[in-house]
A and B are shown apart, each in its own frame.
Chain A
Amino acid sequence: MPDTIINLPQHASISAVAAIRAECLAALKRIASGSSITVDASQVQQADSSLAQLIIALRAEASSRGIQTIIKGKDESAFLHALTSSDAGSCGTVAKSTAGPRTHGGAA
């Protein structure tokens, strides 16, 4: 089964997020476990943190259904950090949402 692709528009800020969410929900209904959903962000020129939280929700939903989420056209972690103005490589939880579980280390 071919990948399902969601193309993000050039302006993917708050005014566009509702439509993107609807598209995501429709896509999730169509595809089965084991397949993947690609979010093509290569055209995005303007976006904000509302898109970041939508991508995080989509990833969580897809993961719970056994569907892989792929972000195309951007480095996912850097993209989410930029949208939320948070630090790449920080102990921020945006990083956790994309990088999987962390260990609690630190020098004693």
Chain B
Amino acid sequence: MTDKLIETFLDEAHELLDGLEEHLLNLEKNPTDVEAMNAAFRALHSIKGSASMFGFDSVGSFAHDVEAALDHFRSSSLPSTPELADAVLRSRDHIRALLDAPESASAEEQEDLVAILAALAGTSGRPEAEHPVITVPKSLETFPSPDFRTYRIKYQPSADAYRRGVKPESLIRELRDLGEASVRCDCASVPALAELDPEACYLTWDVLLTTSMPAGTVKDVFIFEEGTSSVAIEEIRQDEILEGDEVRRLGDILSRRQLPGASIEAALSRQRQIGEILVNDLGTPPAVVDDALFEQQHARTVVQAARDEAERKTIRIRSDKLDGLLNLVGELVTVQAQLSQTVKDSNDRHLHGISDYVKRLAGELRTTSMELRLIPVDSLFAKFKRLVRDLSKNLGKEIELKLEGGDTEIDKSVIEVLNDPLVHLVRNAADHGLEVAADRERAGKPRGGTITLRAQHAGAFVRISVSDDGHGLNRDKILKKAIDRGLVAVDARPSDAEIDMLIFKPGFSTADVVSSVSGRGVGLDVVKTAIDQLGGAITVKSQLGKGTEFSLDIPLTLAIIDGFLVRSGNRMFVIPLSSVDSCFERLRQADPERLIQRGKEFIPYVSSRDLFGEDEAPPEREEVVIVSVFDSRLAIGFDQVLGGYQTVIKPIGEIARYAVGVSGAAVLADGGVALILDVAALARTYKEHG
């Protein structure tokens, strides 16, 4: 088996495990959620099946035990229990360990879990059931197509079926595993209680099954029923229930049932539902209409399932290949800029046309390849459900996690880096931010606290915030600790915002107790460093008794941006275009102001010459660019605005940490270098100090 296949299996298994975790957390919240139970079961079933196929026998075998426990609850319509959810969550973690590093997966944990699962499944002490053979029907993605057939199966077990040890409902479940099935059970023959022989079977099953499996496989389900029970398998042509890929109307389905043509015509001419008219007015047997309705309903189910499947159709690409593609596109963007620069002085109109065309193609290619790397932040947020659930248990606090803006997309590499800082902030919120239930009640709050993870776009930035409705930052305590540590002078009078930012100082912690969750004095500075390295910023807002909110403003991408090229003396700068609000030209002021007025608004102003220094004499006029990031605006004066410029961001590493207002560099068409302005940091700085 090739490494690629195994890699694909592992990717899919991880996705299934993530989904399983989510279903289990839902089930834990709502133990009677049948859909969550079924979804968890399906995820486990898929993991078991594919693990066995790919030679991960230990995973397949263990997943079988977990599946058995879940199936016991599912098939008996039992609500989930905390023990079940807990055991299956632990099992999920164990399967992950078996997949990722089998040598380090704990054998004791597996033994313990197998015993718990067996007890939950009611199979303790019984010989282990033989693992079922895995049958893999085709996905419905390509339905309708000749690959699929629909069968109508009527199964009437013989009266002695139960005595023969047959479980008819298990055979029906086997049919379900072959494809998309609709099942109804006819209990019309069940006699009066006094006449009922409890060990005789009076039920009949009617199944519509759409599957890629051959008729022989369907028949094989009833192999032990041949000659004793009544099993009729009839194939229904696809065009009898579908017209193209649309479900046929009931009248069309009924028309093949040898009803007198006049009945259907008559029914269609009246203004009521056709089934009702046929039964009530025209004497059509209800069973005939029932059958047609059953087929119509099944066709709808299958068509919907096929559409859902098709929507999920994706291809898997290794992320390093995407990185490679983006690098190439970056090179192309640079070469294209050089081409445009070279062609600018040419009189060859044909060459100008080609250059413009290359520019447009490079732009489209850039946009497309950037979009390939964007991932909904949901994939990051989803992990926090489990984290908060575990924190809630460990800390003995009732905590609800709210997720907002999960469909906000962000570059894959940014998501990878964001995980640890967010984990830290959520742990902090749970441990230090939220009060215990008794304290909350005393403060007139609900017993359970809430942590909210929210994502939102703003131009080239994404703001991700972690907020809690806990007691808020204790500024007196923070200031005292800072003074004790010599971080703040004894007589200093810092503002609230300045005090809040002290918590990002290395080693700073006001936690009284060092817990397993947080409070070791290691952390928020690490969070800030990680965000700084992303070219982002972290801020905190807090209200005593109300809660705290940490906001991380992160650049949407770390690779290529649409920029706005500006000049200050001999230096070139690129401003991310999405941050540019407007620009205007004016006479340079002899005595530069700190604020400029635009309409009714006063905006902090700074000259690029003051920001970055410049010896050359300034021109008479300056061009002022107004930038805006979230709620901060800043006006920056430049010597010249050169216009839109697509650019590849080149990291400048550690230098960026010391060069406030610069987030990277770009190679220009003439080979020169322009600095990319970190307008978020600049706007924030001048908002605070302006």
A residues whose Cβ falls under 8 Å from a Cβ of B: 10-11, 14, 17-18, 20-21, 24-25, 28, 44-50, 52-54, 56-58, 60-61, 74-75, 78-79, 81-88, 90-95, 97, 103-108
Contact = CB atoms under 8 A, between A and B. Distances in A.
Nearest to B172: A85
B279 A104 contact: yes
Nearest to B291: A91
Given A74-B77, A86-B183, A91 B276 contact: no
Nearest to B75: A82
Contacts of A17: 198-199
Contacts of A78: 34, 77
Interface in B169-192: 169-170, 172-173, 176, 182-188, 190-192
A71 to B, nearest CB: 11
A21 B250 contact: no
Given A28-B193, A50-B162, A83-B169, A18 B199 contact: yes
7 shortest interchain CB distances as A-B pairs: A92-B184, A104-B275, A82-B77, A108-B274, A84-B185, A85-B169, A86-B185
Contact of A91 (B76, B205, B267, B297): B297
A44 B76 contact: yes
Given A45-B122, A86-B183, 17 more contacts: A20-B198, A24-B193, A46-B122, A50-B201, A56-B190, A75-B32, A81-B185, A84-B169, A85-B176, A87-B183, A90-B184, A90-B294, A92-B185, A93-B184, A104-B278, A105-B273, A106-B292
A14 B173 CA distance: 18
| Interface of A: prevailing SS | helix
Contacts of A47: 76
Contacts of B162: 14, 50
Nearest to A28: B193
A94 to B, nearest CB: 5
B267 to A, nearest CB: 8
A54 B183 contact: no
B193 A104 contact: no
Given A74-B77, A106-B273, A92 B201 contact: no
Contacts of A107: 249-250, 273-274, 296
Contacts of A104: 273, 275-276, 278-280, 286, 289-290, 293
Given A105-B275, A106-B274, A60 B193 contact: yes
Contacts of B205: 84, 86
Contact of B183 (A20, A56, A57, A85): A85
B273 A108 contact: yes
Interface of B: 32, 34, 72, 74-78, 122, 162, 167-170, 172-173, 176, 182-188, 190-194, 196, 198-199, 201-203, 205-206, 249-251, 267-268, 273-276, 278-280, 286, 289-290, 292-294, 296-297
A49 B201 CA distance: 8
A90 B193 contact: no
Contact of B190 (A24, A28, A60, A82): A60
A81 to B, nearest CB: 8
Contacts of B176: 85
Nearest to A104: B275
Contact of B186 (A24, A45, A79, A93): A93
Contacts of A14: 162, 198-199
A12 to B, nearest CB: 9
B303 to A, nearest CB: 14
A75 B31 CA distance: 13
B119 to A, nearest CB: 11
B32 A49 contact: no
A82 B286 contact: no
A31 B438 CA distance: 50
A9 B254 CA distance: 45
B168 A49 contact: yes
Contacts of B289: 104, 106
Contact of A21 (B72, B193, B249, B296): B193
B72 A46 contact: yes
B183 A91 contact: no
Given A60-B193, A91-B293, A106 B250 contact: yes
B187 A48 contact: no
**Residue of A10, A81, A104 contacting most chain B CB atoms (<10 Å):** A104
Contacts of B273: 103-108
Nearest to A12: B76
Contacts of A21: 193, 196, 198
B183 to A, nearest CB: 5
B116 to A, nearest CB: 15
B184 A106 contact: no
5 contacts: A18-B199, A45-B76, A54-B193, A85-B169, A108-B249
A57 B297 contact: no
A82 B206 CA distance: 15
Nearest to B189: A53
A53 B193 contact: no
A46 B73 CA distance: 8
B180 to A, nearest CB: 11
Contacts of A105: 273, 275-276, 293
Given A24-B193, A45-B78, A104-B279, A18 B185 contact: no
Contact of A94 (B75, B187, B268, B294): B187
Contact of B182 (A57, A90, A95): A90
A43 B677 CA distance: 67
Contacts of B201: 49-50, 53
A9 to B, nearest CB: 12
Contacts of A60: 190, 192-193
